[in-house]
Structure 1
């Protein structure tokens, strides 16, 4: 039986999409994919429906580097309300408890933030996409089931108080992958003795990508009316996701053997780590890693 052809056109590159409020990341992805009429697309880390902001969408070969964006550091703007805890850690959940915030001031908030800098342990929320015995935690939570979760080590590189209008305040957070901002807000609330939850969240950076060049849905639909060439002009090159990696440039012979899956010797190559690889015509062809013997091995070819 013949192989079924993929529906859609071959699109290659990365779109810095501004996810709208109230929409799941997957729904946003499907809408963008349909606008591009793309055969293959994926996003690089879910945002809650409550959250807006940077959702890099990878088309075609760019899906092969999306995992590296998943592993990248993130930056968020978050608005937190003190004195109320909810079932989800944000304003979409049911109110669980209300406490007085009269004794809390901006100086105490700023001081408490110091306790969350660096490596910290977080217990993932029940309303998350993590799995327990094959079932998503948020599905269990909706059924009223709570299971024990192991704490995870994450890193808060920077946490900055932007403004304070009690009982709400705003932060900028630069953190490692796997950090739950809702959990961070709840833990800050606990440290202040009054509880807290997230009322606004926006992702402003993913790895090397900042939110300055994001495209929202309204703009994307308007550009789509100009034709596919205008849409494709919005896309960043595949290798833009890993431009902070060291690079390796191959001869035509080395390109041939590497694309056959064989490690190759490259003069003056880096001595360790992951590398982005270009062929003899300066085309990006994939990512590799340096072996102990100094050869360049293919890891994920585009």
Structure 2
């Protein structure tokens, strides 16, 4: 009889990882999952191998809320090089076109940045994780295949110019889900009559999580070596932090009972629309809900111990 495989530890919480360069989000997820010996874990949206910064990893019950973090707003600091376009739109690719950078000025760039603030349309790069007939676009691109990609609407909340010279420029970008910063850089350069590609990309925020909360792989290794799994677990943030960017509602015992049984309820002080974080009568995190057209709050994701 075959020995039953150890499925790992049942742990719940969110780790805000400072993703290192040179690996995919899934590769680093699997590495951290092994370090924790966790039974269940998932990430909250891909970062390119070149990119670093905030990558929330969800363990156990927290995976129920990973989609909401995937859909949340993001913030980045990006550095781009003028005068060159690459096949991947970043420094990991091959240069396919060059142009002169003569005449580029900061004064000309600032009004262009204003044009790209607000709702814009982007055509996703072939080097993205979007799928065509079940196949990731980046895999098709590596095979030399290009397919038509419909434009997608995204929102750029703010664009701040951090640095500018004749060879590079850096931006702080706050944006909606689905924004491709590589495409944004190329489009800004095109509006300047020039070319550009990303050389550095660092995510500074994902939903409620920021770089200040992020932990490096090196720190995790040191903590594991010195304190084992117990010490690692202390770095996990509570499940409820995944909904900290939404209004919080405190429930009475009866209201919590009905919500736990899947019933929409009327809650005093609830917003008129959108998503809410729900806190039980003992200040415990219950889950998240959505305000319906009639003003009631419907449960959308509940943690298991609230059932």
TM-score normalised over the length of structure 1: 0.93
For the pair 1:47 / 2:52, whether they are aligned, the reply is no
Once the 2 structures are TM-superposed, how far is the Cα of residue 291 of structure 1 from its aligned partner? Answer: 3.3
For the pair 1:35 / 2:43, whether they are aligned, the reply is no
Moved more, 248-257 or 102-111: 248-257
Moved more, 263-272 or 13-22: 263-272
**Secondary structure of 1:65's partner?**
helix
Match of 1:234 in 2: 235
Cα gap change, 1:295/1:223 in structure 2, threshold over 3 Å: closer, same or farther?
A: same
For the pair 1:296 / 2:297, whether they are aligned, the reply is yes
Match of 1:133 in 2: 133
Match of 1:153 in 2: 153
Calculate the aligned-residue CA RMSD, in Å. 1.8
Once the 2 structures are TM-superposed, how far is the Cα of residue 297 of structure 1 from its aligned partner? Answer: 2.1
Once the 2 structures are TM-superposed, how far is the Cα of residue 164 of structure 1 from its aligned partner? Answer: 1.8
List alignment gaps of at least 5 residues for structure 2: none
**Secondary structure of 2:177's partner?**
coil
Q: Residues 82-116 of structure 1: CA distance to partner in whole angstroms, max 9, x if unpaired?
A: 11111010011111111111221222223322221
Match of 2:198 in 1: 198
**Secondary structure of 1:23's partner?**
coil
Is contact 2:243-2:288 (8 Å) kept?
Answer: no
Once the 2 structures are TM-superposed, how far is the Cα of residue 11 of structure 1 from its aligned partner? Answer: 1.2
Once the 2 structures are TM-superposed, how far is the Cα of residue 269 of structure 1 from its aligned partner? Answer: 4.5
Once the 2 structures are TM-superposed, how far is the Cα of residue 121 of structure 1 from its aligned partner? Answer: 0.7
Q: For 1:112-127, what aligned pairs fall within 5 Å after superposition?
A: 112-127=112-127
4+ aligned runs moved over 6 Å, structure 1:
none
CA distance in 1, matches of 2:12, 2:299: 20
Task: Report the count of equivalent residues.
Answer: 299
Moved more, 6-15 or 136-145: 6-15
Once the 2 structures are TM-superposed, how far is the Cα of residue 146 of structure 1 from its aligned partner? Answer: 0.8
List alignment gaps of at least 5 residues for structure 1: none
Q: Residues 145-179 of structure 1: CA distance to partner in whole angstroms, max 9, x if unpaired?
A: 11111111111111111112321111111111111
CA distance in 2, matches of 1:177, 1:145: 26
Cα gap change, 1:121/1:269 in structure 2, threshold over 3 Å: closer, same or farther?
A: closer
Match of 2:75 in 1: 75
CA distance in 1, matches of 2:42, 2:73: 19
CA distance in 2, matches of 1:78, 1:48: 13
